[in-house]
């Protein structure tokens, strides 16, 4: 009888030990599994908010989007030089500097002198840039004119260049949301002329020459991957 009692007592003692051991192993397994899946434990930045989306750029983008008709109740389509300068509240070089980190996402559509027509190379680069959306929300077209001619003429010429790009996008992609996606800024010769370093960007010109005059007969195009 004593042996039986000892056996029962041993079993009763062993039961909680087994339960505790099992619980510890289960908890350890859950911890290991959680450690192997960090993406489920801590949220990460959205893919559409890339490294160049600093607070200053986001501030300027909000101003441009509000003032140039992409968000809010503003019915304006695009911004002309004086508006763009006031909206940006930056010097020309500082405005251009905001876009420098977008080198791999942007392209420069170069026009012939005093022209706003698109040739085959222009169309190909526009299509390539626009098709590479990657989930971005806004496509910017920032057009310019070189200093030849009057200020008023160059203002109108850069507007024609921006609108020519927009017309092609409408014809080519048939996207009903284009008016909510594409922001137009035409800067003429008055604001933010491109510097020579932009010659290293993707350009529609096939020639080796790249003067600042040639560079500014252009429309800069890019998707901007910033969440605002």
Contacts 24+ apart (CB under 8 A), 52-55: 52/101, 52/102, 52/226, 53/225, 53/226, 53/227
Q: Could you give phi then psi for residue 171, rounded to 5 degrees?
A: -70, -35
Distance, in Å, from the CA atom of 148 to the CA atom of 129, rounded to the nearest integer, reads 29
3 state SS for the chain: CHHHHHHHHHHHHHHHHHHHHHHHHHHHHHHHHHHCCHHHHCCCCCCCCCCCCCHHHHHHHHHHHHHCCCCCCCCCCCECHHHHHHHHCCCHHHHHHHHHHHCCCEEEEECCCCCCCCCHHHHHHHHHHHHCCCCCCEEEEEECCCCCCCHHHHHHHHHHHHHHHHHHHHHHHCCCCHHHHEEEEECCCCCCCCCHHHHHCEECCCCCCCCHHHHCCEEEEEEECCCC
Find out whether 120 and 220 touch, Cβ atoms under 8 Å. Answer: no
Average pLDDT on 179-183 reads 85
Answer with the residue of higher pLDDT: 87 or 224: 224
At 45, the pLDDT band (50, 70, 90 cuts) reads very low
> What sign does the dihedral 76-79-85-88 (CA atoms) show?
positive
pLDDT at 150 over 90: yes
Average pLDDT on 190-203 reads 95
Find out whether 157 and 145 touch, Cβ atoms under 8 Å. Answer: yes
Please write the tens of the pLDDT for every residue from 86-133.
Answer: 776 778 898 888 888 889 999 999 999 999 999 999 999 999 999 999
Q: Given the DSSP bridges, would you call strands 138-143 and 218-224 parallel, antiparallel or unpaired?
A: antiparallel
Q: Which of 177, 166, 176, 112 is nearest to 141 (CA)?
A: 166
Best-predicted range by mean pLDDT (4-8, 19-23, 154-158, 172-176):
154-158
pTM of the model: 0.73
Residue located via tokens 């200053």 = 56
């Amino acid at each position: 009888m004593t042996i039986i009692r000892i056996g029962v007592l041993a079993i009763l003692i062993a039961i909680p030990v087994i339960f505790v051991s099992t619980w510890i192993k289960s908890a350890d397994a859950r911890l290991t599994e959680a450690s192997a899946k960090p993406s489920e434990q801590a949220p990460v930045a959205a893919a559409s908010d890339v490294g160049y989306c600093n607070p200053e750029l986001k501030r300027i983008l909000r101003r441009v989007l509000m003032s140039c008709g992409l968000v809010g109740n503003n019915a304006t389509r695009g911004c002309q030089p004086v508006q763009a300068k006031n909206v940006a509240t930056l010097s020309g070089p500082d405005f251009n500097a905001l876009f420098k980190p977008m080198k791999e996402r942007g392209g420069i559509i170069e026009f012939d002198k005093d022209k706003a027509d698109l040739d085959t190379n222009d169309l190909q680069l526009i299509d390539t840039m626009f098709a590479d959306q990657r989930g971005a929300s806004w496509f910017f077209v920032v057009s310019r004119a070189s200093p030849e001619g009057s200020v008023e003429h160059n203002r109108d010429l850069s507007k024609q260049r921006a609108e020519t790009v927009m017309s092609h996008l409408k014809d080519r992609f048939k996207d009903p949301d284009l008016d909510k996606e594409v922001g137009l800024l035409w800067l003429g010769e008055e604001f933010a002329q491109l510097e020579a370093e932009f010659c290293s960007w993707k350009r529609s010109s096939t020639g080796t020459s790249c003067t600042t005059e040639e560079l500014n007969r252009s429309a800069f195009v890019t998707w901007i991957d910033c969440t605002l």
